[in-house]
A and B are shown apart, each in its own frame.
Chain A
């Protein structure tokens, strides 16, 4: 069965520093991959997604992620953190052969220190 792991339940970075949130998945076939962001008391919003094609995917708010099949990873990065980036981030996968289930990782809480 597929699963998603996110290394680090909580990450703190200084404002202006690099943001790196890690995501690894287990799947027998390359899945669709997503990063979602959740602000307090809100639902999840899509940051970016990988389905096919270019493995470096750019999303909203300056975030990007790279799909690395050999490492089964889809890490999220942003060159320079902003205070407004403080939120909960979720990596999610969906198998191309099973479109009815999206599996989420446990989430990483990002804090940005002024």
Chain B
């Protein structure tokens, strides 16, 4: 079934450690996004990529980095995790300019 796969499903991470959240889509969508979801704040955009080879910063990019080496993969890296990065992270993609976002099932990250 076509869609977005995120890994891991959940993770407990010690503060200061490096972590990469994986996101892969098989829909050949050009645009991909990383959001974090926190209670009462909805979803906030961390980084985005309009097409392979390009990335951009969203609303809350600090402490995160992304890369887009190809169309399918869009990993999110926390170089040195901090407790405030405890959240649920969603990867999403979009086919065309006015099409809706498709979401993965999320990664629940706890930084202790």
Contacts and interface: CB of A to CB of B under 8 A. Distances in A.
Nearest to A45: B103
Interface in A82-108: 90, 92, 96, 99-107
Interface of B: 4, 31, 33, 35, 40-45, 48, 50, 56, 58-59, 90, 92, 97-98, 100-101, 103-106
A67 to B, nearest CB: 14
Interface of A: 4, 9, 32, 34, 36, 41-46, 49, 51, 90, 92, 96, 99-107
Contacts of A51: 98
Contact of B100 (A43, A49, A103, A104): A49
Given A44-B90, A90-B43, A102 B97 contact: no
Given A36-B100, A101-B48, A104-B35, 7 more contacts: A43-B90, A43-B92, A90-B43, A99-B31, A99-B98, A100-B48, A106-B42
B33 A102 contact: yes
Given A43-B105, A100-B48, A100-B50, A105 B42 contact: yes
Contact of B42 (A43, A96, A101, A104): A104
Nearest to B41: A106
A34 to B, nearest CB: 6
B105 to A, nearest CB: 5
Contacts of A99: 31, 50, 97-98
Contact of A100 (B4, B31, B35, B42): B31
B45 A103 contact: yes
Contact of A46 (B41, B97, B98, B101): B101
A41 B10 CA distance: 11
Contacts of B4: 43
B38 to A, nearest CB: 10
Nearest to A108: B42
Contacts of B50: 99-100
